Amino acid sequence: MIEAACAAWEAEHLEGVIADLADDVEFRVYAPPDAASFVGSGRGRDELVRRLADYLDIIKVMYYEPQLPLTQAREGVLRCRAHFVYRHRAKSLEIEGSMRHLWHFTRDKVTRLDVYYDALRMRAFYDLIENVAV
């Protein structure tokens, strides 16, 4: 399930990303208070798709791979680390890094998704994008 969602994200196939998410899934991309998060926090599959689509308008997913094995954090929660390469569509600048996910399950649906990334690296990337001419 998680590997399929990661493969769908790499392919920029949003319906595949949300296939196993509950309709009222809670999501949060953690960022420091002074850092922007394009996805942020919210609830619902439709809202998540809207925010991810907005992100894909500016960023191309070049590579996205979960690092196996997935580990159980506690009952009903799996931990995943993913390696990624993203490219800014207009400026062709790339960032490579890793992020961590916590996938919370109830039965066979994801009810909450928490994403943690290297905020300083991402902030530097977005600052660079703002200051580089096309």
Which amino acid belongs to residue 68? L
What does pLDDT average to over the chain?
Answer: 92
How many angstroms separate the CA atoms of 123 and 106, rounded? 34
Instruction: Output phi, psi for 71, to 5 deg.
Output: -125, 150
Read off the pLDDT of residues 91-105 as tens digits, 9 standing for 90 and up. 999 999 999 999 999
Q: What is the pLDDT of residue 69?
A: 87
pLDDT of residue 33 exceeding 80, the answer is: no
The answer, yes or no, to whether residue 115 has pLDDT greater than 70, is yes
What pTM does this model have?
Answer: 0.89
Query: How many whole angstroms separate alpha carbon 116 and alpha carbon 132?
Result: 27
> Which domains does the chain carry?
2-131 (3.10.450.50)
How far apart are alpha carbons 66 and 53 in whole angstroms?
A: 21
